[in-house]
Structure 1
Amino acid sequence: MKQLLTFILLFTGTQLFAAGSYTDWWQQANKLYDQKEYDSARSLYEKIAAMNPSDAAVYFNLGNTYYRLNDIGHAVLNYEKALRLDPGNKAIEDNLALTQSRINNRIAASGDIFFVKWWKNITAATTAGTWAILSVVTFLLMIGIAILKKLGIISLNILPQVTGIAWGIFVVFMILGFISAQNKNGHYKGVIMENDSPFYANPQQAKAQAYIPEGTTVTLGEQNGAWTEVTLPDGRTGWMQLLVLSKV
């Protein structure tokens, strides 16, 4: 019993020490940033991100720090990570746009039609948990309809239509929840970390089709060994080596 108590106290003490270190590092990193000691601030923010990789604020501050260090690739990467954790955050979006405006020979994004843009926004801005809750509510609604039918409160004439609509909404919510979860947990984006990185039509091609600037955000596709399929902001699809990019 004494050994168990000692273990619990040691474990609790470790957790408290970690929490204390996190708070101390956060305050110190912010202070270093305010003092324009950006390299030291970056080092501490990186440690904090390793301790708590689900905190969008840490990646936002890292993006700001790398921007001050004129490291466009890492600035974009950390803003993208922050935006993945906190989609729709205006401050993150604005700082990301400002940083991307500094990319030399930037590849302009192709404009999506309104429906595609709406679909991307709705799946990015709403969490998978929200869609799951809405799915459960819809499912409970269908159970309620079945109970009301059994009690004879709902007319049989409208029951098929109401049930069909409820099932349709339930399926839509489930699909949106799955897509939102994939967008958040999956590595579907990458950021080019080396300037003038070669872009090929396929891994076997000897000559590059184009050279992609550092800081460009690409959409990742299938992988083939040391290669990954990518889609550029302007819609072109090709292959790049994994070593020239970092996953968001």
Structure 2
Amino acid sequence: MKQFFYIFFLLMNLGSFAQGQNAFELANEAYADENYEKAINAYQGILEEGLVSSELYYNLGNAYFKKQDLANAIYHYEKALQINPGDSDVIENLNIAKTQTIDKIEEVPTSKIDKFFQSVTGWFSLQSWAWISIAFSLIFGLFLVLYFKSISSKSKRTFFGISLLSFILAIASFSFANFQLSETQDENFAIVFENQVEVRAEPNPKSEVDFELNKGTKVELGSNFRDFQQVILADGTKGWLKSNTIKKL
């Protein structure tokens, strides 16, 4: 009976995946026919089913970009990069979309170490780095066993060298996975979805307006108070705006 339920559950998942694939293909066809509104609705329907992928967010971002909805385009490109940070197509389209936004904010320079980690971790997704770490750990364990069982000194040196290299690579890939995970968890961002949003010095509607933000601008989130949200710009500037003017990533 238990095996029957396992098989039934597997078939249900396969059916959902097949339906999702079919819906994704239909959405892509609508996009190819330049029916962007239909494509957007189809992609959103897939998301509502709980089927998420970098490709889905990327295509949805492209559809919004074609409709000149920069805020939604940038939002979904950013969502795609959360899943696959190293996707060059997403990065390229995101940069193109950003050039068309009103706000031009210079980012605070990052350290060489952070740049190195961001560059390397972008090669693979978080899940891929985790699997790579597990694979090297298994190789390390296998060759360590062969090292202890080997009689020949030459074989011992070879097995020890491979196991040591595998151990180092396992630690390195685990570190990259952990760095990518901490980046995702620690940094809370949002996209501005309205033009000429007033950013105030304090979370008070009577407070002085320091500057304005426009659609498509990415902000880091700080603390919140009532219906106000503190935001931090890429150049380090801080301020408070109404929470309903942004959409959290």
Under TM normalisation by the shorter chain, which class is it?
0.7 to 0.9
After superposition, the Cα gap between the structure-2 partners of 1:239 and 1:23, relative to the gap in structure 1 and judged at 3 Å, is same
TM-superposition CA deviations, 1:82-113 (whole Å, max 9, x none): 01111121100000000111112433334434
Q: Residue 132 of structure 1 contacts residue 174 of structure 1 at CA under 8 Å; is this kept in 2? A: no
Q: Residue 221 of structure 1 contacts residue 230 of structure 1 at CA under 8 Å; is this kept in 2? A: yes
Aligned to 2:86: 88
Q: Residue 84 of structure 2 contacts residue 124 of structure 2 at CA under 8 Å; is this kept in 1? A: no
Q: Give the unaligned 5+ runs of structure 1.
A: 154-167
**1:1-248 pair list within 5 angstroms:** 14-125=12-123, 127-128=125-126, 130=129, 134=133, 137=137, 176-185=176-185, 188-204=188-204, 206-248=207-249
TM-superposition CA deviations, 1:119-156 (whole Å, max 9, x none): 44345555555368649849x79xx7xx99xxxx9xxx
TM-superposition CA deviations, 1:213-236 (whole Å, max 9, x none): 110111222333433332212221
CA RMSD of aligned residues (A): 3.8
Q: Residue 127 of structure 1 contacts residue 181 of structure 1 at CA under 8 Å; is this kept in 2? A: no
One-letter amino acid of the counterpart of residue 24, structure 1? N
TM-superposition CA deviations, 1:180-236 (whole Å, max 9, x none): 223335662211111111222331362221111110111222333433332212221
Distance (Å, rounded) in 1 between the aligned partners of 2:194 and 2:29: 30
Distance (Å, rounded) in 1 between the aligned partners of 2:9 and 2:172: 45
One-letter amino acid of the counterpart of residue 184, structure 1? T
SS state at 1:220 partner = strand
Percent identical among aligned pairs is: 22
The alignment of Structure 1 onto Structure 2 pairs a total of residues equal to: 228
TM-superposition CA deviations, 1:41-68 (whole Å, max 9, x none): 0000111123345300000000000000
After superposition, the Cα gap between the structure-2 partners of 1:174 and 1:46, relative to the gap in structure 1 and judged at 3 Å, is same
Q: Give the unaligned 5+ runs of structure 2.
A: 154-167
One-letter amino acid of the counterpart of residue 181, structure 2? A
TM-score normalised by L of structure 2: 0.73
Q: How far apart are residue 14 of structure 1 and its match?
A: 4.9
Distance (Å, rounded) in 1 between the aligned partners of 2:132 and 2:7: 38
After superposition, the Cα gap between the structure-2 partners of 1:15 and 1:171, relative to the gap in structure 1 and judged at 3 Å, is closer
Distance (Å, rounded) in 2 between the aligned partners of 1:28 and 1:127: 27
Q: How far apart are residue 31 of structure 1 and its match?
A: 0.7
SS state at 2:239 partner = strand
Distance (Å, rounded) in 1 between the aligned partners of 2:102 and 2:243: 22
Distance (Å, rounded) in 1 between the aligned partners of 2:64 and 2:173: 38
Distance (Å, rounded) in 2 between the aligned partners of 1:88 and 1:9: 36
Q: Residue 201 of structure 1 contacts residue 209 of structure 1 at CA under 8 Å; is this kept in 2? A: yes
